[in-house]
Structure 1
Amino acid sequence: MFHYTIETDKSVDEVIEALTTNLYKEHFGILWKFNIQEKLQEKGLEFEEPYIILEVCNPFEAKRVLSEHAVAGYFLPCKIAVYVEKGTTKIGMPRPTNLIGMVEMDAYDQLLEIAQDVEKRLINCLDRSI
């Protein structure tokens, strides 16, 4: 599957608070918190459900990826979406292993190993946040 998505009974704010803590434990920081609902409403468009995209990064892992192949930087930073769909809060992300798999490059094996590690750690963060 291209993505990993789970559901929770927590509110969007509760999930983001838990995610922030869990990401920090894995040395990931939140670089940007993009509130799509607010942005659309600001532009005069109705959008009823909360939808937040977090851009997260672990500087050590980013350096490793960029040192292997600059094109892999197109996938940085990692994105995590927290949103409400039909009354249910969801947390999801594109799988780094699938993103890396879209690019043919000499450093594929090394990048896949990094992507697998990052994916496992991010999934653990998501799972601990529900």
Structure 2
Amino acid sequence: MYGVSTKVSTGFDETIERVTQALKEEGFGVLSDIDVAKTLNSKLGVDQPPYRILGACNPEFAHQAITAEPDIGALLPCNVVVRVDDEGDVRVLFMNPLTVLELVDNPQVPELAAKVRERLDRVMKAIK
């Protein structure tokens, strides 16, 4: 499974704030914030429920990963999706670093991916 998701009971904007704060508490910053719904509307005239992609990065882990595997930047940052589904529920999806980083043939990377996954699991628990 390439991602781990959960349905939350908070509204969309509040969820963005809670996810951002929980990431911060685990040492991640949000480097990018892509408003997919807004972009699709302005570029294609398509109406879509709210959908944002937050590019989260933990500088310590990013440095370790790039030191171990310089080309790993193609897989960074960790994407976090906050979206409203067809039923109107807010969902949060985290990229699963264990699955994605299996693409890298470097023995140092799986241990690092496991540490990142532990922190993202704590973020998931904090936003429920």
Q: Normalising TM by the smaller chain, what interval?
A: over 0.9
Offset, 1:44: 3.6
- Matched to 1:11, the amino acid is G
Runs of 5+ unmatched residues, structure 2 = none
The match for 1:124 is 122
Q: 2:37·2:50 contact (CA, 8 Å) conserved in 1?
A: yes
Tell me whether 1:90 sits opposite 2:88 in the alignment.
no
Q: 2:57·2:76 contact (CA, 8 Å) conserved in 1?
A: yes
Q: SS where residue 108 of structure 2 aligns? A: helix
| Cα displacement string for residues 30-68 of structure 1 (whole angstroms, at most 9, x for unaligned residues) | 011100000111114222300000001011110000010
The match for 1:71 is 71
The match for 1:51 is 51
CA distance in 2 between counterparts of 1:69 and 1:31 reads: 21
The match for 2:112 is 114
| Cα displacement string for residues 14-41 of structure 1 (whole angstroms, at most 9, x for unaligned residues) | 1111111111111100011100000111
Offset, 1:71: 2.4
- Matched to 1:94, the amino acid is M
CA distance in 1 between counterparts of 2:44 and 2:99 reads: 35
The match for 1:60 is 60
The match for 1:29 is 29
Instruction: Please give the root-mean-square deviation of Cα atoms over the aligned residues, in Å.
Output: 1.2
